[in-house]
Amino acid sequence: MDKGIHKFIGDRRFYRRALTVALPIMLQNTVTNFVSLLDNIMVGQTGTASMSGVAVVGQLFFVFYLIIFGTVSGPGIFCAQFWGAGQEKPFKAAFRYKLFTALGVCAVCMAVFSLAGRPLVSMYITGEEEQSAQVLGYGLSYMRIMLWGMIPYAVSMAYATTLREAGRSAVPMFSSWLAVAVNISLNWVLIFGKLGAPALGVRGAAIATVIARFAEMAVNILWSHRHSGEVLFTRHMMDGFPMDRSMLWDIFRRSLPLAANEALWCLGTATLNQIYSTRGITVMAALNIAYVLFDVFTAIAFSIGTTIGILVGQELGAGETEKAVDTDRKLLALGFMLSAAIALVMLAASGLFPRFYNTTGEVRSLAASLIRIMALILPLDCFANGSYFTMRSGGKTLVTFLFDSCFVWAVNVPVAWVLAHHTALGIQAVYTLSVSTVAIKCVIGAVMVHRRYWVNTLAVEMPAVGTEP
């Protein structure tokens, strides 16, 4: 085998180890996104207006979900490295930081959505007055109930991500499967009024989701505390509280750019969708259909990024820098190959999937076109995602901030805005040119990964704090 190619391909032992971490994450993400797909299809049966209202609120909650992800990701870098270094006290401290900040962010987001829900939803609605009023009504009805699911989501994310970093990926996978079962069952009952229940439509979908969130949180919390000797972060969880100031500052300064990155990135994505939505409610409905399928098919490929963050982070924490570089290179190659295969499946499904929705032929046709565009760009998206997690694994959070969210606001948003507002191009062309800018991001990512700027060990910086007697 050519020596150059061999650098990117691992042996059976490598892939067995990678799949031990990646497979539960893949299964969890795939099942969770598949439930979102079913949820979306079920709501889609009630009509275009209700589907569009839920889709708009979904965009806003997507911002919340990613802000929480960013909030737990910063301390998660430390959790992975402390676990790899066998440092229990700072591992628990990083978890506490993760949990408390996630709850704080959750409180702020709940207040914003409660006080400014109507103007936020209205930003995405363009069209005839009567139809716009219907979409707004469905959206606000859905949002008021979904607010109750924000706290269990934040708590569950703090526990689930720490369990993964402690090598217990199967637990959050099981909790998400339970949530899936609860969500699907209650969707069928509450949306359509089965088993004697009233037909609640979009409100039923929201109630089902909130109940599922609480079920997921319960499993993650109960398992973690009943197996505290295995995962450590729940064993005498408040031991060492309050946190050492130098350690708190180090986690804060590295976590803040990551949390800010996720917030600005998802706000940038929400802004992009708002720009696309100026072309009408049809566009918003079609994007909603396309995004749901995209999320399902990319769950596997994008899970490689999370795997990079965990495995490479653990190896850096253990001081095995050359092994970390080798692992990262092979996982990036694996992610690219998987995404190329998945893109072919997406292309094959692009014409069939929109037919499951009770909507117009125009919406179905546009959704099929958008799915094909997403499929073609997927391998580049996956490589950029892997590059992001590579830099994050070494604690280079300021660089990831510039690489990710700054790129969205400096390149993606201006390109989309100019094309949407100052050209006569159709939405397919506007969307294609906008998302194709990821190629620039891939070049930057490849250079930074190759130069090994990201290779950095955090765990050894605080040996006195973290070393157990």
More confident position, 393 or 424: 424
In whole angstroms, give the CA distance from residue 151 to residue 73. Answer: 17
Under DSSP, the state recorded for 360 is -
At what angle are helices 361-393 and 48-85 packed, to 10 degrees? 10
Reading the block at residue 189, the tokens are 């009952």
Alpha helix ranges (H) inside 278-357:
281-317, 321-349
Give the pLDDT band of residue 89 (cuts 50, 70, 90): confident
| Rounded CA separation 336/301 (Å) | 8
How many CA atoms lie less than 13 Å away from 320 in the CB half-sphere? 14
Query: Peptide bond preceding 242: is omega within 30 degrees of 0, i.e. cis?
Result: yes
Most confident of 123-132, 219-228, 236-245, 275-284: 219-228
If one compares 177 and 381, the residue with the highest pLDDT of the two is 381
Per-residue model confidence as pLDDT tens digits over 92-143? 888 888 899 999 999 999 999 999 888 888 887 766 777 778 888 888 999 9
Average pLDDT over the chain reads 83
pTM over 0.85: no
Question: Does residue 155 surpass a pLDDT of 90?
Answer: yes
Tokens 């805005």: give the residue.
417
pLDDT digits (tens, 9 = 90+) for 232-250: 777 776 665 666 677 777 7
SS3 call for 454: coil
How many whole angstroms separate alpha carbon 54 and alpha carbon 409?
26
Could you tell me if 93 and 240 are in contact, meaning their C-beta atoms sit under 8 angstroms apart?
yes
Q: Alpha-carbon distance 59 to 428, whole Å?
A: 20
Number of DSSP helices (H) and strands (E) in the chain, helices first: 19, 0
Residue 41 has pLDDT above 80, yes or no: no
Mean pLDDT computed over 14-22? 83
> Which pLDDT tens digit goes with each residue over 431-469?
999 999 999 999 998 888 888 877 876 654 444 333 333
Structure tokens at 154: 């934040």
Rounded to whole angstroms, the Cα distance separating 225 from 175 reads: 15
The domain segmentation of the chain, as residue ranges, is 3-460
DSSP state of 157: H
Q: Is the pLDDT of residue 375 over 90?
A: yes
| Ramachandran angles phi, psi of 319, nearest 5° | 80, 10
